[in-house]
Structure formats: C-alpha cells, structure tokens
Amino acid sequence: MVFGNRPPEGIRSRNETVTPTRPETEPAMSEQTKTDRVIIFDTTLRDGEQSPGISLDAGEKLEIAEQLARLGVDYIEAGFPIASQGDFEAVHAIASSIEGPTICGLSRTAHKDIDRCWEAIEPAAQRRIHTFIATSPTHMEHKLKMSPAQVLAEATSAVTRAREYTDDVEFSPEDASRSDFDFMCDVLQAAVDAGAGTLNIPDTVGFATPVEWAARIRAIRERVSGNYVLSTHCHNDLGLAVANSLAAVEAGARQVECTINGIGERAGNAAMEEIVMAIRTRPDTYADIEVDIRTEELAKSSRIVSRLTGYPVQYNKAVVGRNAFAHEAGIHQHGVLNERTTYEIMDPAAVGQGESQLVLGKHSGRAAFRDALQKLGHDIQGDALNAAFTRFKELADRKVQLSDADLEALAIEELGGSIDHAYEFVSLDVRGGNLSTPSADLVMRVDGEEVSASCEGDGMVDASCTAIKQATGAEGRMTDYNVTSVTGGVDALADVALTFESNDGVKVSGRGLSTDVVEASARAFIGALNKIARIRESGEDPNAVDRPGHIG
Ligand code: KIV
Ligand code: ZN
C-alpha cells in the first residue's frame, strides 16, 4: 500500500462544469446551467449487481465493462471491493484492462474498506474512490448505531483517507432524501473541506418526488460551498428515478448515477438509456446540456446486460424495449409509412434499434398488411389483397400470432398460387376408441413422391403425428397444441394451432383447418414442417421467424 501516491488523475477537466459557490457570488441559475456537460456515472456493475438474484463473475463483469466503455460512459463503478474476494478481483480485472472511463470502487468509511478499494482500482489509468455513510435518523439509529457527531467525523476521516490515494473522491450521504437537511449539509460541507470533489446525493429508498428533489439539489448548491460536482443517484421505488434524476439536472446536478436497463436494488436505479435520450431528444428543455454517450450502442448494451444478468427487458421498455419502435394500430402504421416522425420522437437507428417496425395484429390496417407482403416479395392487389386482408383480420381477431411464414402462406392461398411444398397431405385413416390402441395410416407426398406410414399412439392425433414424423424423418417435439372451433356447433371447423421445435432448435407454428380435428392436426403439423423446410432453404434466421407478429 502506498500512501501519498497521487498520480494526476486527469479528471478535473470533466468536472469543470459546475462550481457551486455561496449564494452571494453564484451566477443566476439560468446562466450557470446552460453550457454544461452531464457526467454519466454508470453503476450497473455495483448497484445494478445488487439486484436480487444477480451475481456476475469477473468475466461477465468485464464483458459488460467493455460494452460500457464502447458506450462512452464517463465513470464505471465496477463494484464494492471489500464485499467479497470475487468482487475485489472483478474490480481489479476491470481496472487492469478497461480503457477510457474512470474506474470507481465503492467503499464504506472504514479505513480498511478504503484501502481495499484503492488496491482494487489502482491499476486503472483514472480512478475514483466513492465513499458513503448514512445521514438519515433511521439509518444512524437502527443501522449504524452512531450519533450524528460520529457520522460527521466518519465522513471527514474517510474522505481524508481516500484523498491520500487519489484526487478523485466522491462522497455520498446515504438516504439523503430522508435526512435532516441542515445536518446533511454539515456532513457534505465536511466532505468537501476534506477534499471530496463530487457530492453524490442519493435517494436511496426512492422516496423523493421530482419537484421536491430539484428543490433539495438547488438548496444544497446554495448551502455547501467549495469546488465540487453535484451528483444524483435515484432509486425507482415509486417509478420516479428517471424523473427525479432529470429534475436534479435541471436544478444543477452535473453527474447522474444510473444503470443500463435501470437494474439495481429493489425496484432498481434510474435507467441510463432513458436519461440520455431525454436529454438528447429535448434540447429545448435541456438547452446546452450535453451527454457524451454513443447512443447507437444503447440497445446492444441493454441486450448484453439482460443476457448476462438474466433480467429480461420488458417489451415496452422505453428506448431499448423490443416494442419501443413497433406500431400496431392501422392509423399509426399508415402514418409511419408516410412519415416516420408522425409517431416516433426518436430515430430507432440512433439508439441501435435499427428500423421502425410495423407489427401485424388485429389493429393493423391494409397499408401495413400490403407493405409487409411486399417486403416478403408478394405484390398483391385488388380482389386478392382484399381477400387476404379479410382472412388476416379473421386470424388476428382470434389472437393468432402471425409470423412471416404465416403471412406468406396466407397470401399464396389467396393468390391461388402454389408454392413448392416439401410435404403434402394426401390421406389419413385413423382408428380410436377405448377398445383398441389408436392407430393411423397416413399417405403423404414428400418432395413429390408418395410415402405411406402406419403408426400407433396415445390417441389418434398422436398416432397421426407419429406417422408424419416417420414419413418425413422430422425430429423434435410439439411445444404447444390448441384446438378451437371456428363456428359453433358439432359441424364446426376445427382450427388447430400448434408449435413444433425441431431437435436443432428451429421453432415454428403450424395451423390446420378441417371439419375433422385429427385431419386438422395433421395438416397443421405438415404446415409447420413445411415452414422449417422453407426456412432452411431460404437461410432465414430461424429465431426471428416466430417472433410474435413481427414483419419488419
Ligand atoms: O442508494 C444508495 O444510497 C447507494 C449509495 C452507496 C450511493 O447506492
Ligand atoms: Zn443505490
């Protein structure tokens, strides 16, 4: 351990944006906040990793850190080195190999925590120690069992110790939103006086509301003197983390602590992608405020974090959700086809989401339906288009999820055209009941050649499907099977919808209509196998095929 080793950290230039002073010398807020850069402090690997159920190993943390560096974040809070040997090693590995962002470690106020934190981050070119202690009455009494005077002394002592290692020290009064304002400001002042360059104000339990949070940030700026960057760290217990963070920026905070996908303790932290895109999309509100992030990397960052943490991203998640640029209503689709900005305030390409998507569902209109078919290479018009659209609406109304292959089949059926099916149904003879083992004699054409198969099964549907497998050589399993009747009564058409997954992971759906439920099942299964054959032939991405309703 080397005390007094303070290499130039080179971070002051990033922090030049805010220099709060006492009210009598402070410029008007409007002047001060108009030319500022907001530092993006990513805590996905520290607070984000504190999400219940998430535990990342060093390799996984490194992979995320590499992506954060590509994204261009200013700071990576890589972990809490004293917490475990594993976290120490992960922080050390990140500090040893990631270039670009400053690497930060979290530390309580105890000197052994700070020493360990420094040991972990030391290899980085730029490093920060982030130390914290709670200042709310409830935390001091029930958790720390310390008096306010002891807490104040701890804060001073921790920052002083950290400054012996680095110029770049951040201090947080934990549970700031429920702390006594005057006492918290005394602690913050002590931290600045001891050398903290960043004061991070955490809404640890997500208790604050935007107007109140902005007022608190503004009041701290007015009360605490010295050269420091004011930062905000908001939790999402009331779903207000992003709103509170942005309110803090409007009130003069120039660092935002956030995570990819908003992961973090309990309901999570403020989502970086939402904060960044709010600032970028609304320059009228955040005039001259800059964030230096490569936004085209946001969607990829979200996917990597989701994959490695196992936390799914909700479909309708702002900015990075898979439906964030998907339109289903006919009126919207028509608008987007004419001019994207009718229903989009961001360009999907700007956040790495590619193109707008028109999703076919029961609300879709003829324009999107036709556009989808055109993209599949079928320019159908007139009566055929009307007939196909009517059939599509019927299916969509019954909540059938339509894949590209479904659409294609529908168009071809209505065009009266024929496609080269690999497999064709010819005939089926089945026996069932409770007196004999159910069996099926099937005849079908495989690549134009007639093939027959006879099989037994648990029931007539099972026997028929086994016969189809035998005739086609298909291997895999039925993952879903549904029968509905198209109309009422015993003479109703049976509508079978099933999902089949081949042994090599291709998942397709198949549908079959017949007055006989066994025949409808056989047709549905043969239809599914034809899709697999078409997918293999076209080289299409098998995993994209059954994305519900996706046609983009
Ligand atoms: O939420 C919180 O208070 C924290 C601190 C360590 C900043 O995560
Ligand atoms: Zn937190």
425: pLDDT strictly greater than 60: yes
pLDDT at site 392: 81
Residue 127: strand pairing partners: 103
pLDDT at site 540: 60
Q: Please give the distance, rounded to the nearest whole angstrom, from the Cα atom of residue 135 to the centre of ligand 1.
A: 12
CA distance 272 to 51: 16
List phi, psi (to 5°) of 72.
Answer: 90, 25
Stated as kind and residue range, the H or E segment containing 374 is helix 366-375
- The more confident residue out of 403 and 108 is 108
Q: Please give the distance, rounded to the nearest whole angstrom, from the Cα atom of residue 106 to the centre of ligand 2.
A: 11
pLDDT at site 543: 53
Tokens of 123: 């290899």
Q: What is the mean pLDDT of the chain?
A: 87
190: pLDDT strictly greater than 50: yes
Average pLDDT over residues 427-445: 93
pLDDT at site 17: 31
Ligand nearest to the CA of 268: 2
175: pLDDT strictly greater than 50: yes
Give the lowest-confidence range in 45-49, 51-55, 265-269. Answer: 51-55
pLDDT at site 223: 98
Picking from 247, 261, 11, the residue whose alpha carbon sits closest to that of residue 129 is 11
Distances (CA, A) of 202 to 32, 147, 232: 23, 20, 6
398: pLDDT strictly greater than 80: no
CA distance 499 to 476: 11
- The pLDDT > 70 percentage for the chain reads 85
Amino acid 403 reads: S
Asked whether 256 and 230 are in contact (CB, 8 A), the reply is no
* Residues whose beta carbon lies within 6 Å of some atom of ligand 1: 47, 106, 132, 172, 174, 200, 202, 204, 233, 235
550: pLDDT strictly greater than 60: no
362: pLDDT strictly greater than 60: yes
475: pLDDT strictly greater than 70: yes
Instruction: Work out which ligand 1 atom sits closest to the CA atom of 202.
Output: 3
Largest Cα separation within the chain, whole Å, is: 98
Q: Please give the distance, rounded to the nearest whole angstrom, from the Cα atom of residue 77 to the centre of ligand 1.
A: 12
pLDDT at site 541: 60
Identify the band that residue 446 occupies on the pLDDT scale cut at 50, 70 and 90. Answer: very high
Instruction: Work out which ligand 1 atom sits closest to the CA atom of 235.
Output: 1
Residue nearest to atom 2 of ligand 1 (CA): 204
Picking from 166, 171, 246, 254, the residue whose alpha carbon sits closest to that of residue 213 is 246
Ligand nearest to the CA of 177: 1
Asked whether 378 and 388 are in contact (CB, 8 A), the reply is no
Number of H helices, E strands in the chain: 18, 16
25: pLDDT strictly greater than 60: no
Please list, in sequence order, all residues whose beta carbon lies within 8 angstroms of the beta carbon of residue 469, skipping any fewer than 6 positions away.
475
Token look-up 């049976």 returns 494
Identify the band that residue 420 occupies on the pLDDT scale cut at 50, 70 and 90. Answer: low
Three-state secondary structure string covering 70-137: HHCCCEEEEECCCCCHHHHHHHHHHHHHCCCCEEEEEECCCHHHHHHHHHHHCCCCCEEEEEEEECCH
Identify the band that residue 417 occupies on the pLDDT scale cut at 50, 70 and 90. Answer: very low
- Report the half-sphere exposure of 542 (CA within 13 A, side-chain side): 17
Residue nearest to atom 1 of ligand 1 (CA): 204
User: 3-class SS at 298?
Assistant: helix
Asked whether 274 and 242 are in contact (CB, 8 A), the reply is yes
- The more confident residue out of 104 and 52 is 104
Residue nearest to atom 8 of ligand 1 (CA): 47
Instruction: Work out which ligand 1 atom sits closest to the CA atom of 257.
Output: 7
Q: Please give the distance, rounded to the nearest whole angstrom, from the Cα atom of residue 161 to the centre of ligand 2.
A: 23
Distances (CA, A) of 425 to 96, 443, 458, 519: 63, 7, 22, 9
Cα 148 from chain centre: 40
pLDDT at site 6: 31
383: pLDDT strictly greater than 50: yes
Residues 319-357: tens digit of each pLDDT: 999 999 999 888 998 999 999 999 999 999 999 999 998
Average pLDDT over residues 32-59: 87
Residue among 106, 171, 172, 179 to mutate when testing ligand 1 (max atoms within 8 A of CB): 172
Residues 365-376: tens digit of each pLDDT: 888 888 888 888
pTM value is 0.71
pLDDT at site 160: 98
Ligand nearest to the CA of 207: 1
3: pLDDT strictly greater than 50: no
pLDDT at site 542: 55
Please report how the helices 241-250 and 272-281 are oriented relative to each other, as an axis angle in degrees rounded to 10. 50
Instruction: Work out which ligand 1 atom sits closest to the CA atom of 172.
Output: 7
Sheet with 507-514: list strands edge to edge.
Answer: 476-485, 494-502, 507-514
397: pLDDT strictly greater than 50: yes
544: pLDDT strictly greater than 60: no
Average pLDDT over residues 479-487: 76
Identify the band that residue 552 occupies on the pLDDT scale cut at 50, 70 and 90. Answer: very low
Residues 255-303: tens digit of each pLDDT: 999 999 999 999 999 999 999 999 999 999 999 899 999 999 999 999 9
Average pLDDT over residues 150-167: 98
Residues 64-92: tens digit of each pLDDT: 999 999 999 999 999 999 999 999 999 99
2: pLDDT strictly greater than 50: no
CA distance 210 to 188: 21
Picking from 422, 330, 324, 323, the residue whose alpha carbon sits closest to that of residue 369 is 330
Average pLDDT over residues 401-420: 61
484: pLDDT strictly greater than 80: no
pLDDT at site 278: 98
Neighbours of 509 (CB within 10 A): 23
Average pLDDT over residues 484-501: 68
